[in-house]
């Protein structure tokens, strides 16, 4: 009787935990592009071709424009994120959910770290300064 109870408890616990790591991996941000294009002298056209439209734009003095790009510079590609989710699902199935004991802390440690990249373009849309705020 006691052995059956323990088995039932383990199964309930494993199916309760199952999927947390996969869900957390699926919610991680996808790479927006290569932040290394944000250097003084690059044109706005080149930057936006790589990163897309900025998250915020405001005009400042002397015809300059301040823009903000919000992103995780260490984010994975969409394929990389999907592969991580698939790996978690397969490991969950093969271990009857016990993989979550490892996966959940790993995913918690690898959470997104969103940075604000504050960029000032001069009147010719060339980067004048870049400031990274964590």
Range of the domain at 129: 2-133
- Residue environment code for 39-71, b if the CB has 16+ CB neighbours within 10 A, otherwise e: eeebebeebbebbeebeeeeeeeeebbbbebeb
Q: Residue 20's pLDDT is what? A: 80
Structurally, how many domains does the chain consist of?
1
CA torsion angle 101 104 110 116 (round to 10): -170
Average pLDDT of adjacent 10-residue blocks, the chain of 134 residues: 76 61 77 86 95 94 94 77 86 85 82 88 96 90
Q: Residue 126's pLDDT is what? A: 96
Does this model's pTM top 0.85? no
């Amino acid at each position: 009787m006691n052995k059956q109870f323990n088995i039932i408890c383990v199964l309930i616990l494993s199916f309760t935990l199952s999927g947390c790591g996969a869900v957390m991996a699926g919610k991680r941000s996808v790479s927006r592009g290569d932040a290394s294009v944000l250097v003084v002298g690059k044109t706005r056209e080149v930057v936006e071709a790589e990163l897309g439209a900025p998250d915020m734009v405001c005009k400042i003095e002397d015809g300059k424009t301040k823009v903000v790009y919000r992103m995780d510079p260490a984010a994975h590609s969409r394929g990389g994120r999907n592969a991580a989710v698939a790996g978690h699902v397969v490991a969950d199935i093969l271990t009857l959910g016990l993989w979550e004991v490892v996966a959940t802390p790993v995913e918690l440690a690898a959470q997104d770290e969103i940075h604000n990249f504050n960029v000032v373009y001069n009147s010719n849309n060339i980067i004048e300064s870049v400031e990274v705020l964590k």
